[in-house]
Homo-oligomer: A and B are copies of this chain.
Amino acid sequence: MNTSPRHSDVFRVLALAALLVLGTHARAQTDPLPSWNDGAAKKAIVDFVQTTTTQGSPKFVPPAERIATFDQDGTLWVEHPMYSQVMYILESVPALVKAKPELAKVAPFSTVLEILKGDRAAIAKLTMPDLEKLAVATLTGMPVDTFEAQAKKWLAEAKDPRWKKPYTELTYLPMQEALKYLRANGYKTYIVTGGGQDFVRVYSEAVYGIPPEQVVGTAGGTKYGYAKDGKPFLTKEPKLLLNDNNGGKPEGIHLMIGRRPLMAVGNSAGDQQMLEYTKAGDGARLSMLVLHDDAKREYAYGPAQGLPATKVGAFTQALYDQAKKEGWIVISMKDDWNKIFAFEK
C-alpha cells in the first residue's frame, strides 16, 4: 500500500467521512437506557421512539411535532414524604415571620413554626386552605427576580431528610436517560407539573436539561410596574391563571404548547387527563405511569395493587385499572429500574 503523506491524508478524510456516515448507526448500538431492565416498559419506549422517528415508518412523525410531556413530582424526582415545593413554602415561613413578627402567633404561620421546631406530625394539621394561605404569603407579592433568587438559595441549601442530599439530586436516573434518549431523537421534552411553574423553572435546565420555556406548571399572574428609578419589573400576584392538575394538565398543554403530546408520563391520579388526552391523538402514542412499589430503594405507595395509601401522589386502583384497559404502560420502580438514583453504587 502506498503510504505517502498525500495518500494518508486522503485516508484520514475517508475515515472521517465514514465516521460521519456510520456515527448514527454506531450510537444506536449502545443501550440508551442502561438503568432500565429489559421488559415491557423499556421495550415500549424504544419501540415508540423507533416507530415515530424512522423515515418511511407508517407512524413517522416530523421532528417539529415530537412533543413528550413529563409530570415532575413522583415521576422525575422523589415526592415523599412531602413535595419539595411544600417544603420550600414551610421553610420560607421563618424569614416571613422575621419580616412581619405579628404573624408568629397567627395560624397557619404559628403551626408551621411548630412543625419546623421538630413537631413534624403537625404537618397533618395543615388544611388545604392553610396551604393556600401559606403559598400566597411565600410565593407572591415579590418581584419575580426576588422570588427566583430566594428559590435558588433554598435549593442550594435544603436537604432531603432521608438521603441528606439536595432535592435536585433526587431525580430518577432511568427518567433522565429517557429524557436524553427522546431529545437525541428529536423530541422536545416538557415538564407538565402541578407544582409552581416559576419554582420549577428555577432549576429545570440545570437538573433535567429542560429550559424554562418548556416547563408548564401551576401558574399565577404577574403585574407589570416600575421601580422608583423608572426600571420596569414584574410582581408575582396572588391570582391563579392555571391549576395544572387533572383536566388542567391538557388545558395547560394547549395554552403553553398548543400541540397534543405524542408521549406523556405521570404517576398519580392528577396525571390521568394528560395521559388520556395524549392517547386520544392519531398515530403512535405512548402513555406511562410510574408505580412506587419499592419501599427499600425509594418508597411504596398506591393505594393501587394493595400498596399503602397516601395523600401525596396517590396512584389509585381506578387509575391502575384504566391504565390496563387503555394500554398505558405501568412502570414498576422495583422491577423495571435496576438503578434509581445516579448516586447509587
Contact = CB atoms under 8 A, between A and B. Distances in A.
Contacts of A14: 10, 13
A323 interface: no
A76 B270 CA distance: 40
Interface size class of A (residues with CB under 8 A): 35 or more
A136 interface: no
Interface string A100-122: 00000000000000000000000
Contacts of A213: 188, 213, 256-259
Contacts of A221: 251, 255
Contact of A224 (B205, B257, B258, B277): B277
A273 interface: yes
**Which among A197, A241, A255, A276 has the highest number of chain B CB atoms within 10 Å?**
A255
A215 B13 contact: no
A251 B224 contact: yes
A273 B255 CA distance: 22
Contact of A64 (B211, B255, B276): B211
B258 A215 contact: yes
A231 interface: yes
Interface string A216-240: 0001011111000001111000000
Interface of A: 10, 13-14, 16-17, 64, 144, 188, 197-198, 201, 205, 211-213, 215, 219, 221-225, 231-234, 241-242, 246-248, 250-251, 254-259, 273, 276-277, 280
29 contacts: A10-B10, A10-B13, A10-B14, A13-B13, A13-B14, A16-B17, A64-B205, A64-B211, A188-B213, A197-B255, A212-B258, A212-B259, A213-B213, A213-B257, A215-B258, A219-B255, A221-B255, A222-B251, A223-B251, A224-B250, A225-B247, A232-B250, A232-B273, A232-B276, A232-B280, A234-B250, A234-B254, A234-B277, A241-B241
